[in-house]
Amino acid sequence: MSSMETVYVLRGYFEFFKNYLSFVNYKDDSMIKGKQILILIKTVLDLVYLSQDPTILVDELKKEWIIHADLYFQCVYCLFGKRYQQHLKMHNLLHVPYQLDYFGLPLHFFSVIHFESANSRLKQLLLLSNNRLNKPKTILTKIMWKVQTDIYKENEEISTINNCGWSYDFGDKSCLEMNISKNIAEEKEIEKIVDDINTSILLKSTDETLEESLNDPNDFTWLP
């Protein structure tokens, strides 16, 4: 599927799951987990629609992006815990506001599709060559320059994803706060267990060293 088709499928699943949770009767833990998954899907759709919205102003986009990117990482932490591995593209969500400040343009003006399609081939070329030039950075810079020049063309048609009346507002997010507190408590308990194990190992090692020293007839370091 294309990226646009993937977004539409995710939107359909979100609407179905939202209606499903509205009439099922689950226990508290299951319902909380379901609501957290629903908020995670919504934050993903929020970020997609924000990046493709041709009507939103840059200042408003920057403000909304910071809110929803932060909420996205909260959802990931609630669902998967502190040890979930973050990927570079997820981390780059935090750098989007700086891009908006630097260029002063909405995100739908930018595209790195050429860079993405050639990325694997470039990595292979870099591995096989002794060239120390940063080819991906050079190509990305040229793409950004080309995009900037293209926006000044007359009658430029902008291809964006239709958000179909999407609302960026959130309702009740208390399920995230409950789980964050629970995760923090679990992390502290795990850290306490690890500290106890390390202390036990250290004491055992010290006792064994002292016992060996006492049993060694040539070692007088233990004498007062």
Type and span of the H or E element at 4: helix 3-23
Asked whether 10 and 44 are in contact (CB, 8 A), the reply is: yes
Cα 133 from chain centre: 29
Helices marked H in 24-95: 28-52, 58-80, 88-91
For 173, other C-beta atoms within 10 Å of its C-beta total: 14
pLDDT at 139 (0 to 100) = 66
Please tell me the distance from the alpha carbon of residue 97 to that of residue 194, in angstroms, as a whole number.
39
- pLDDT, tens only, 131-186: 556 666 666 666 676 666 666 554 455 555 666 667 766 666 666 665 555 555 55
Contact between residue 69 and residue 93 where contact means Cβ atoms under 8 Å apart: yes
pLDDT at 130: 60
Q: What is the DSSP letter of 158?
A: P
Question: For the chain, which residues make up each domain, given as ranges?
Answer: 3-209
Q: What's the pTM value of the predicted model, to 2 decimals? A: 0.57
Cα→Cα distances 147→103, 122, 157, 158, 196, Å: 11, 21, 13, 12, 57
CA dihedral 148, 154, 160, 162 (to 10 degrees): 150
pLDDT score, position 27? 64
